[in-house]
Amino acid sequence: MSELDIYKRQGMGASVGMGRAPALIIVDFVVGFTDPAHFGGGNIKEAIGKTVHLLAHARKKGWPVAHTRVVYADDASDAGGFTRKAPSLLKLTETSPLSQIVPELQPASGEFVIRKRNASAFFGTELAGWLQWRGADTALITGCTTSGCVRASVVDSISHNFRTIVVTDCVGDRAMGPHEASLFDMGQKYADLMSSEEIMAG
C-alpha cells in the first residue's frame, strides 16, 4: 500500500474548491529570502518569478492582496519564542534591506502590508478581519518558506474557515525535501494544491 493509499483510505485529501471571492496572500517574499547567505536558497527565486504573473492577474481581477513581512524592533524588545529557535530572524527590522519586499512584488495602493513576528500571517495580525471585511471566502497562499511560514499560514487560514489553496509554483523553500513533504501534507489535510496557471485559467 502506498502512502497516498493510506490517506485515501482514511478519507483525507477532499477538495475544498475555489470560492466566489478569492484573495491573494503573499507571505514573506522579502529580500533576505532571496539570498542563501541569509534565509534563501532552494526554489524561492523561481517562486517569486511565478508570483509576479499571479499578482498581475489578481490586480486585474480586483482581488484583495495582502503581503507579509517579518519585522522586529531594532532593540529586539518584541522578540518571542520564534526567535529563540531562529535568532537570526532578529536581523529583519523595519529598515533592514533584508526585510523589504522584493522589487518585483512591490505592493500597490490599497494592498495590505502586514508586519508579523510569528510564522503565520494570521497569528497576532489583522489579516483574518481584513479578509472578512473585503468579503473574501478563499485564500490563495503564496510565499516562503513552504515548510515554515506558508504552512503555518495555511493551517491558520483553514482555522478561520477560509477555503485555502496553496499555489504550488508560487511557494518556495530553502530545501526541496521539506518543500515537497509540506505540499503533500497540506494537500491531504488543509488545502487544495493548484498551479498559478490553473488559477489564472479559472
Q: Using alpha carbons only, give the angle 72, 126, 86 rounded to the nearest 5 degrees.
A: 30
How far apart are alpha carbons 153 and 139 in whole angstroms? 10
Paired sense of beta strands 192-194 and 163-172, if any? parallel
Q: Is 170 a catalytic residue?
A: no
Alpha helices for the chain (secondary structure H):
3-9, 44-61, 81-85, 127-133, 151-159, 176-189, 196-201
C-alpha cell at 146: 513552504
Active-site residue, from 102, 149, 165, 194 = 149
Look at the block and give the residue holding cell 522589487: 103
Paired sense of beta strands 112-116 and 138-144, if any? unpaired
Query: 166, 51 in Cβ contact below 8 A?
Result: no
Closest by CA position to 191, among listed 131, 145, 142, 144: 142
Active site residues: 149
